[in-house]
Every structure is written in C-alpha cells, then in structure tokens.
Structure 1
Amino acid sequence: MSSTSTHKPRPMVDLLVSIAIPAFILMKLSGDEQLGASGGLMLALSFPLGWGIFELIKYRKFNFIALLGLANVALTGGIGLLELDLKWLAIKEAAIPAVIGIAVLISTFTSKPLIKAMVFNPAVMDVDKIMQRLQENNCMAAFEKRLMNATYMVAGSFAFSATMNYILAKWIVTSPTGTPEFNEQLGELSLYSYPMIAVPSMLMMMATFYYLWRTIRDLTGLKLEEVLANQ
C-alpha cells in the first residue's frame, strides 16, 4: 500500500505548525533583542513552507491547510518586509475569503459548480442514489433551485469571513510595518481570528450542510444513513 493511501488527516498538527507556531514566533521572537522583525517573519514563514514540502514529498499530495497557511504568512511577510502601508494588510486579510466566495458564485455558471465539490460529492453522499430518487420523484428542478440557495449560503459565509477579517485587521494591527510591534500584532491577529471568525464561519457552513440534507430528505424521502456514502 502506498504512503499516499495510508495518509491520515492531522488537523491539530496542521494548525499547530501552520498557525500556532508562526503566531508565537511573530509575537515573542521578533524583538530587536531576539530575531528582529525581518528574521521573525522569515522564521514564521519557514514552518508552513517546510510542512507543506514535507507532506508533498512524503505523501505525494498537497496539504491544503499548510498551503493556505503558507500563502497567508507569505503575503503578510511580504507586506512586512517591504514595509507597505497597513491598508494592504487589511485588504489581504479580506481578499482570500472574498476570492473564494466569488469563485463559488462564478462556478455556478460552469459545468462543475464548487458547491457540488464541497458539499454534494460522492465522497460524502451517495450521489447516484440521490439523483435516481430525484428523477423518480420528478424533483430535479426543485433540487437545483435549493442547491443554488445553498451556494448563496456558502458564498455568504465567505463574505462574512472577509468582512470580519478586514475589521479585525484594522482594529488589532496599528503599528508600522517592519517593526517588532507590527509582528506581535500579527501574531495576535492570527490567534484572535479563529474564535472570532473561524467558529462563526464553521457554524454557517454546518447550517448549509443541514439545509442541503433537509432538502434531500424532503425531496427523496431518504434518511441520513441512506444518503451518506459508504466508506
């Protein structure tokens, strides 16, 4: 059996290496008497970068959380190292979830909407059974309409995240870029963003899953255990 097939998700390790450790470095090791502002940023960047490369080489697959952490720290590090205006940090914080939300909406005009890849996909649900029952009940049009509603809910969750990211960045990070104080506030931003942004966004996504499951139940008569994919 290949190493790819035996790979187990490790979300706590991913969060530790990609978020918690870089935040600690930014907050505690970026002073002039330690690594300095530039050194702290570079060391913080090295953890998600190294973790992503390790996952890619060992399991021959990209680690999404590590890559997302890498992109986030890389963009933030670039803003700090180039000593750009603070407005670019707030824009960057809002841009990532905003782009994802826009991509979700745009994908509805393609043959492969992202909502189907994220929620209604064979890895999670028995799509063939659901589609067969929908056709038997002549409910395909109603299902597509509700699937579009679920798309708007997902896009709305990303819009909420983008807005809160922008507000939080403007509120917490007030020191000039390229300073130890700026790095420390970046670490605080990373830590505060999870309880204040990630948890509400997760609840909104769970509500979307529940809405879609209720839709399938109402239109097909199938119970939850009947629609879940066999693992």
Structure 2
Amino acid sequence: MTTQPTKPKKNNTFLELIFNIIIPSLILMKLSGDEYLGTVNGLIVALAFPIAYGIYDFVQSKTFNFISLLGFLSTLLTGGIGLFELDAEWLAIKEAAIPAIIGLVVLVSGFSGKPLLAKLMLNPTLFNLNLIYDTLAEKGNVAEFKSKINTANHLLASTFVFSAAANYILAKMIVTSQAGTVEFNEQLGEMTLVSYPVIAIPSLIMLIGIMIYVVKTITRLTGLKFEQALNQE
C-alpha cells in the first residue's frame, strides 16, 4: 500500500490580511496613545502579530523561502526604525528596498538561464509539463518558448519595480512624523492599511496579466488547448 505525499498547506489569505494588515493597523492607529498602550508598546504589540503569524505559517507549511525571509526582515526593520526613533526617510527607503531586492533577484534569475517566473508559474501541480515540453520539442518551438518566458520574467521584475516606487511615494506622503511619536504610529498604521488597495491590488492585476500571457504562449506554441495543458491528475 503506497501513501500519498503530503500536500503543502495553502496560505490562508483571510488570516494573512487579519494578522499582517488589519490588526497591526488598528493597534497603531487607535491604541498607540498614552491612555492605552503608548507609542513603544503599541508599536511592539502591532508588529508582534505579523511576526507571530510568520512563525506560525513557517511551522505549518515547513517551508521558508527568500521572499518570506525578506518580509520577516521588513517587519523587524520597521520595528527598529520606530524603536530607535530614526528619521522617517529610512522607513520610505526600507519600504522601497524590499520589493526592489526581490525585483533584482527576479531579473538576475532570467540572465542566469533559470528565470524565477518559470518556477513560480510553470508548476507541475498545475500544468502537464511533460506534455508541454514534448510538444514544444516536436514543433521546434523550445527556443521561442524560452524567449517568451524570459520576457514574462522581465515583466514580473517590473511589477516589483512598480511596488518599490509606489511604496516609497506612499511612505513619503503618509509617514511624515518623527519616529517614536503617537503620530508616527498612527501614520504607519494608515500606510499599512492603505498600501493593500493602492499597491497590492494593482500588483495582483499585473501578475494575473503575466499569467494570461504565459498561458497564451503555451497554447499558441504547442497548439494545445488550455484544458489539455493542465495537469489532470
């Protein structure tokens, strides 16, 4: 009797929003006054939620990747900026640096011949990769397919460039108070809350567009229908 491999636990988007955005934002905006938690304790408690959720998610999924590591470090850096009362400019730089680093890694991966996009989107659990690659080889379209995937990888890198620029502008516009003050915590909470619809949703739309581009490339170069390209198992 053979045992089925354990499937990795899927992320719970609702919990991610609650612990990474909504709860920290509400604490920073509503409970950072001296009559409640205070500026320092408010910041610590607010940042404890995404850190705790990150640790919980790692324990549940048993996976830890580069992007998750950067997200974890980003939270710690935000706390450091607030606790050490650094200039708000450092927050804007940090907000831009994290997606910029990810974008650079994605871009470099394309030049190395192993585009990160291929690992992210050409997933064997989603696509019948053996059929796709065999059909591409039969039609002599392997080189063109690799070129198109590399183009999509550049587009993916550009989404992180957009995110870096948008993060910097948003931080400069919203967080203008000195770190260590109630106003700084409130503005940090507002920025965290606003960043989701202003940055995350447009980035998601761009990612969907890239995915559609990849799917159309597969169907055009292989002649397969979308349903045929999918993994039916």
TM-score over 0.5 for the alignment? yes
**1:89 has 2:87 as partner:** no
How is 1:177-188 mapped onto 2 (pairs within 5 angstroms)? 177-188=179-190
Mapping of residues 38-117 of structure 1, within 5 Å: 38-62=40-64, 70-117=72-119
Identity of aligned residues (%): 50
Match of 1:146 in 2: 148
CA-based RMSD of the aligned residues comes to 2.2
TM-score, reference length from structure 1: 0.91
Unaligned 5+ runs, structure 2: none
Change (3 A) 1:65 1:44: farther
**Partner Cα separation in structure 2 for residue 68 and residue 57 of structure 1:** 17
Q: How many residues align?
A: 230
What's the CA shift string for 1:107-158, capped at 9, x where partnerless?
Answer: 1233532111111221322111111010000001111111111011101111
Partners of 2:70 and 2:98 within 8 A in 1: no
Mean alpha-carbon deviation: is it higher for 69-78 or for 170-179?
Answer: 69-78
When residues 223 and 20 of structure 1 are mapped into structure 2, their CA distance, relative to the original with a 3 A threshold, is same
Q: Which residue of 2 aligns with 1:136?
A: 138
Question: Which stretch shows the higher mean deviation, 149-158 or 107-116?
Answer: 107-116
For residue 65 of structure 1, report the CA deviation from its aligned partner. 9.0
Residue 175 of structure 2 corresponds to 173
Match of 1:16 in 2: 18
CA distance change for structure 1 residues 146 and 6 in 2, over 3 Å: closer, same or farther?
Answer: closer
CA distance in 2, matches of 1:25, 1:215: 46
Per the normalisation by structure 2, the TM-score is 0.90
Moved more, 17-26 or 108-117: 108-117
Q: Cα deviation per residue 1:59-83 (whole Å; 9 max; x = unaligned)?
A: 5445999866543332111111111
Residue segments in structure 1 that go unaligned for 5+ positions in a row: none
Rate the CA distance shift 1:168–1:111 in 2: closer, same or farther, 3 A: same
